[in-house]
Amino acid sequence: MSTSGDDHDHEHPRNELSAQAKRIYAIRDLLLEKGVISEKDIQDQIEYQEARSPANGAKLVARAWVDPAFKARLIADPKAACAELGIDATALNEFVVLENTKKVRHMVVCTLCSCYPRPILGRPPDWYKSFNYRQRSVNDPRGVMREFGLVLPDDVEVRVHDSTADMRYLVLPLRPKGTGGLSEVELARLVTRDSMIGVMDALPKLPET
Amino acid sequence: MIHPATGRFRPGDAVRVLNEHRPGHIRTPFYIRGKTGWIERVYGDFLNPESLAFGGDGLPRRTLYLVAFKQGDVWGAAQAPTDKLFVDIYDHWLEPASYGGQRDEHIR
Amino acid sequence: MERGHHDIGGLPGAGPIDKSQHELSDWEILADAINQALGAKGVKRTDEMRRAREEMDSEAYREMNYYERWIASMEAILIEKGILKKDEIDKKVVEFEKKWGEP
């Protein structure tokens, strides 16, 4: 994808961008002119970001589901476990894996801005960054989960984590019942991004393709 | 690399979040100030974001804790009896407290 | 005690979660990449960007979308550090507008 100011963005003609949005092209050119960053620096970051997606997290979860020793390693030292599967989580200062159980579900938010485990999962979804999610997740987590289709009885404990500092959180969803016959690759397809944020459980069965 | 913790608290300690006005870049959310919970984990020492945010060097490092709260203690009501809220809070935003309520054992 | 406009956890009045997802535009991908590149080169820290967003005009904070806020805070920090000047950014925007033509 070219970031040159000469190209036309076919979805949003540049002359129709908001005043604020236009400024990034000016900032880009000035930073390049002054040698603060290079075209390559920008391109490297675009590629770095494109390589990161929920598929990474799903891989970790699926492996944890089939291999209890790996699961223990994932919880004890998540960055090392990522490296085992060839997932580059080095940009993270540290992250914590929150294991869901039959009796406990975790949900992650950053109320103050939108911190998210980007090096593993890629960019956060729009809803995660929304004011409504940031406001409600801490005092109405069950309401939020209900909106994502997850209804939990009172005897299941909900734990909300507000990531206010350098720690990043990844939810390890519960392995759905009746998935004993699925391969690791198939299991990974049950692990949605939203289940690793914690607003829903993993899919109960493979989605129709 | 996580720096070893030098702070005052250990897992299980009851703590109260300070309820002070401090200027600048603060990562202790408004809703948790003045609330009482307990130390769940000691994460280690980190550069202080309050200094980093203004181009400072972030020193001295501050101990970061995972602090647990019962939802009822934060909002006055909870959606379910054992629901909890966990916030990452630095040592200098906490003071020792005596925990009057029941803490609950870990549920697994 | 003054509560920052960013410090919204638990505030009443929040509505349902809008689950729609928009595909990022070129300008958003660019904002994201430049922000990361500036961080990688040690030009600025994430903490400075957060602080700049906290210092924004509160109405602008609520009105702007996510990446618009990033661009605003990036500009504020680059100007604060003396790397760019507001008038040269303004001038460059006018040059681009001439190139892109009337909407």
For position A51, what pLDDT does the model report?
92
Size of interface A-B (CB pairs under 8 A): 80
Average pLDDT rounded to a whole number, residues A138-157? 98
pLDDT at C18: 97
Which chain B positions have a beta carbon within 8 Å of C54's beta carbon? Answer: 25
Q: Which H or E element spans position B84?
A: strand B84-90
For B76-105, write each residue's pLDDT tens digit.
999 999 999 999 999 999 999 976 555 554
Chain A residues closer than 8 Å to C32 by CB: 45, 49, 123
DSSP-derived secondary structure for chain A: ----TTS--SSS-GGGS-HHHHHHHHHHHHHHHTTSS-HHHHHHHHHHHHT--HHHHHHHHHHHHH-HHHHHHHHH-HHHHHHHTT---TTSSEEEEEE--SSEEEEEE-SSS----HHHH-SPPHHHHSHHHHHHTTT-HHHHHHHTT----TTSEEEEEE--SSEEEEEEPPPPTT-TT--HHHHHHH--HHHHHTSSPPPSSPPP-
Render pLDDT for A62-107 as a digit per residue (tens, 0 to 9): 999 999 999 999 999 999 999 999 999 988 888 999 999 999 999 9
> Are A12 and C25 within 8 A, CB to CB?
yes
Q: Which pLDDT value is given to residue A11?
A: 54
Q: Please state the pTM of the whole predicted model.
A: 0.94
Please tell me whether residue B47 adopts helix, strand or coil conformation.
coil
- Tell me whether 0.90 is exceeded by the ipTM: yes
Tell me if B80 and A138 make a contact (CB, 8 A cut-off): no
Pairwise CB contact (< 8 Å): C45 & B53: yes
Judge whether B49 is closer than 8 Å to chain A, CB to CB: yes
Tell me the shortest Cα–Cα distance from B98 to chain A, in angstroms: 23
Catalytic entry in A2, A4, A18, A115: A115
Where do the structural domains in chain A lie, given as residue ranges?
Answer: 20-50, 54-197
The CATH architecture annotation of domain B14-96 reads Roll (2.30)
Better-scored residue on pLDDT, B100 or A127: A127
pLDDT for residue A189: 98
Based on the residue annotation, tell me whether A82 is a catalytic residue of this protein: no
C73: part of which helix (H) or strand (E)? helix C66-80
| Chains A & C: contacts with CB separation below 8 Å | 180
Q: At what angle do helices C26-40 and C66-80 cross, to 10 degrees?
A: 40
Give the domain C28-100 fold: Cyclin A; domain 1 (1.10.472)
CATH no., domain A54-197: 3.90.330.10
Q: What is the pLDDT of residue C101?
A: 86
Tell me, what's the pLDDT at A164?
A: 98
Domain regions of chain C by residue span:
28-100
Q: Nearest-CA distance from C90 to chain A in Å?
A: 8
* pLDDT confidence of residue A93: 81
